[in-house]
Each structure stands twice: as C-alpha cells, then as structure tokens.
Amino acid sequence: MIAELLADARSWRDQDPDATTKAELDDLVSATEAGDPVAEAALADRFSARLEFGTAGLRGELGAGPRRMNRVLVTQAAAGLAAYLLGRESNPSIVIGYDGRRNSEVFARDTATIMAGAGVTTTLLPRHLPTPVLAFAVRHLDASAGVMVTASHNPANDNGYKVYLGRDDHGSQIVPPEDGLIASAIDLVSTVSIVDLPRSTDFIVADDTVLDEYVRRTATLGHCATPVSFVYSAMHGVGWETAELVFAAAGFGTPAVVAEQIEPDATFPTVAFPNPEEPGAMDLTLAKAAEVGADLAIVNDPDADRLAVAVPGRDGEWRRLSGNEVGYLLGWRAAERAVAGGATQGGTLAASIVSSPALRAIAADYGLGYEDTLTGFKWISRAENLIYGFEEALGYLVDPQIVRDKDGISAAIDFLSLASELKAAGRTIDDHFDSFADRFGAYASSQISLRFSDLTQISGTMTRLRSQLPSQIGTIAVSSVDDFVAGFEHYPAGDILRIHLVGGARVIVRPSGTEPKLKVYIDASSTEGTAAERRAAAEAVVAELDAGMRTLLEA
C-alpha cells in the first residue's frame, strides 16, 4: 500500500506546475520513504480521495494532492467543465472571475488557458472583483457558464471554485444533475496528465465595461431620501472598490471605512475567521461606528456576496442584526415594490427552509407567492417568478434581474435606502421592527453552530438524533418530525431533520454544506399583545429551545 501511495504522489508531483505544492510532495515522499509515520499519514490523507465536486463546485484547503485545492486539481476541473460545456453546446462561452485569496488569480488564469485551449470562448475579468460581479457578468455577457474562484468566508488557507450556468439557467449556480455530469467529465480528464492538455492564451481580458454596468444597474436600487452616516468594512476582501462606486452612484456618498480591513489581504490578519457571523469579526466595525456616531454599519464578507448590518439600539449599544432580521425587512421592501409595480400576480418570495418563517407571513399578507427551498442560493435563485430571496446566513437576492445569486452590495444599497427613508421620517430601524411586529407578528431565532475536526462526528450526531428523536425540547412538546434523508415532499434528499413543536415553533438540524460544522436553527413567533410583548414571548420560546437543544447535543 505504501508503494502505491508513493507512486500516486510521484505521478501527481510530476504534472504539478506549482513549485510550492511540488516541494510539499517531495518532502512528504522523502519522509515517508524514510519511515516517518506522520508524513505517511499526511500523504495518505492527501491521496485518500478526491476533493468532491458538488453543487458548490469545489472548496477546500490549499495544498498538494487530489484532496486539496491546487493547480493540478483546478486544471482537471477546468478541463472537465470545458468537456461538459462542449457536449452541451456547439459554441460555448465562459466568463471567469476571482477574489483576493491566495492562488485565486493563478487558478483563474489556469482555467482561462484550459478553456481557450479546448475551444471555449473565454473572458477573464480584469482583476479581483466580488462574486456578484461575476454572477452578473454571466447574464450580461450571455455566457454559457461562469466560474468564480473564491472560498467566500472560509478560513484563510481555503480556496474554492464556484460554477454558474447561463442561458436557460439564467446565471444560477449549478444543481443536480448538472453537478454530477460535470464531476463525471472531471473524473475522465483526471486519468491523463494535465501536461498533455491543450492550452491557449487566446482569451479575452475584459475591460471595466462589465463592472461599470453592474454599478449602474445596482445603483438604481437605491433611494437616498436623506443623508445617512455609515461605516463600511470589506473584511479584508474585494468588496470595497465596487461598493464604493455603487454607494456614490446611488447618492449615499463615501462611508467611513474600517481601514485595517478595507484592502484585500489573503491572511485575514484581524479576524479568526473572515465571516461577519463569527464572534468578534465585527468588533473593529462596531468600534468605528461608535467613534464616528454613525447611523448604520455595513460589512461584506471577503467576496462581497454576503451582508452584515449593525445598528445603534435604543439603549445606545450597537448590535448586529441577524440574517433573518435583515432578510425579512428587505423582504417587506420587496413586497412593497411588487405591489407598487403591480407585480403581485405570480411574484414569488423565497427563502431557504432554515430561514425565518417571517417571509412566508409577508407573502401571505401581500398576496404574493412563497417558496421554501433547500439551503443555498443555487435553489433560491431558481424559484419560479422570483422577485426576492434570502437565507439566514447573511445572503440576500434583492433583484433577480441583475444577479441570480446572493449579493451583499445590492443588499447594502437596499438597506441603506430603508435607513435613509426611515431617518427622513424621523424613525429608526428599531421603530421599523415594532411596525413589523404589529403587522406580521414578532419573529425570533437563534442558531447553534458546532465545529468539528472529525467529520464522522457530524454524521454520528445526526444518526444518534434520528435513532433517539426527542418527545420534547426543554418543556415544549414535539408535535412532528420531518426527515429529509430520503427526500421529503417536493424536496430532494438531504441530511436534514425538521422538528415541529407544539405552539408553532420549529428546530432544524443539518450539517453545513461548506464548513465542518453541525448547525441548529431555532425559530418561534408570536402575534399576541403589543410589539414588545410579542417579541418577548417569541424570544422566551427560542431561549428554551436553544438550551434544550444544547443539552440534547451534548448528551
């Protein structure tokens, strides 16, 4: 077995154009030959499987071997995707973007040369730009497909490869069965050395026309009723250049910025994880907002497809709004726009099943359609007659005609517009939450996120829950459980448990699709009493369910 492992490693090394990962393999091979068990285990881990190509494309840790993100793996993925596109269309085209992470530009250029070498008409965006600009470009350029090299908000040593399909798929991310077809094409390519793959530099490097059009169209979503003072952080990512242009074009001027996080930095030096949801990630932003006395604080994640918002509360303390809170406030705006534009017939609001049920209540109130989807914008973006979609993980799709994916910049413009309109009327975001609770009910939510180093612990926990389904959580009785493992109703199969509680609350448990985490989503609502009483009642139920689930998971 060791001989076979060493042969696989040498074969991979011999086709690797990257000096860093080539040296990594040389060191591991030499140490394994010398009998080092640690090196042997590390080598075996890299060659125990391939990094799986799925509905998020590829995402994983940088390093050598087929179970890591590297130039060999990306080249194989590009060649497989090219073969898939050529089997789908006679003259396919693709647009490629990349963020500021380590090797992102290298992976993007490798993809471009492989695509052009295979005969696919190829456009490479001119520099690192946000994921929403790439998603926009797929539709704007009428491309057959798009690739964005990004690991979004993952740890610093990760990178990824997100695939979009154009034309009839309208620039949405890939879903089954296309992901499986692409994976099969990649498997075929991986049997030959990437040295033998045809390459060409005959591809287009786009000018700023695509970016300019994205900025123009996104800015039209804005309405600056009165000036708003706000702070912006790019979380060491690529959002600032584009966001600054959009803010100015929409009439909101230039925000105060978190200087330590405004420029791209692949090491993400000021945060443990470059994800605005993580504890402490927004500390610098909130400190800056307090310092300048801002009305609002806005943070994009590193590829700017997510948005985090913080506001000063009535007690003067800054607080980050949850993804659900931002999501249903923007959903309310979308419903208002739909009614004003006469688009209620057939218009659909959509959210992932783990997101707040508040959006369903909005849709019912306005006579709009509503659709629950599986998690991920690959599903939300495909809702029929979609006019707005969101998921609780800070993702919002505010205008499907511009981008068919979550977009943290257009969402920022929409939320700035809300803050501006409220300020012009002498009201605050907290006042608006009161109005929401009065009209639709108060909605509360919480999330438990457990990170694991051993992925088998995640599947083991899910198996244990299925075998020992609770009859109550805390003191609240369980009324029914939906298990998605073999498919449920119109949903495809998924590793998801949805627990319904007496009184209408719910708990959903599932593994994360992009990180080694087990996630628990808890939601409750109330329509009894004043806005404050409704909030208190919903929050009490959520608190009890949160404590009860932690006890169950620790058992």
Extract the tokens encoding 479. Answer: 């009324």
Q: What is the DSSP string of 289-313?
A: HHHHT-SEEEEE-TTS--EEEEEE-
> Beta strands 369-373 and 517-526: pairing type?
unpaired
Q: Residue 62 in 3-state DSSP? A: strand
| Amino acid occupying residue 210 | V
User: Are the C-beta atoms of residues 51 and 68 closer than 8 Å to each other?
Assistant: yes
Nearest to 322 by CA among 265, 248, 396: 396
- Partnered with residue 510 across adjacent β-strands are 519
Give the rounded distance of the alpha carbon of 137 from its chain centre: 18
Q: CA 346 to CA 307: how far, in whole Å?
A: 28
If phi > 0 it is left, if psi is from -120 to 50 it is alpha, else beta; for residue 132 that is alpha
Q: Residue 88 in 3-state DSSP? A: helix
Cβ-in-10-Å burial (0-12, 13-18, 19+) of 221 comes to: buried
Task: Look up 480 and say whether it is catalytic.
Answer: no
Question: Would you give the DSSP letter of residue 494?
Answer: -
Sequence-separated (6 or more) residues with CB below 8 Å from residue 14 = 193
Q: 93, 152, 381, 525: which one is catalytic?
A: 152
Sequence-separated (6 or more) residues with CB below 8 Å from residue 532 = 434
Q: CA 247 to CA 412: how far, in whole Å?
A: 9
| Amino acid occupying residue 72 | V
Q: CA 140 to CA 520: how far, in whole Å?
A: 38
> Beta strands 497-501 and 145-149: pairing type?
unpaired
- Partnered with residue 69 across adjacent β-strands are 62
* Residues designated catalytic: 152
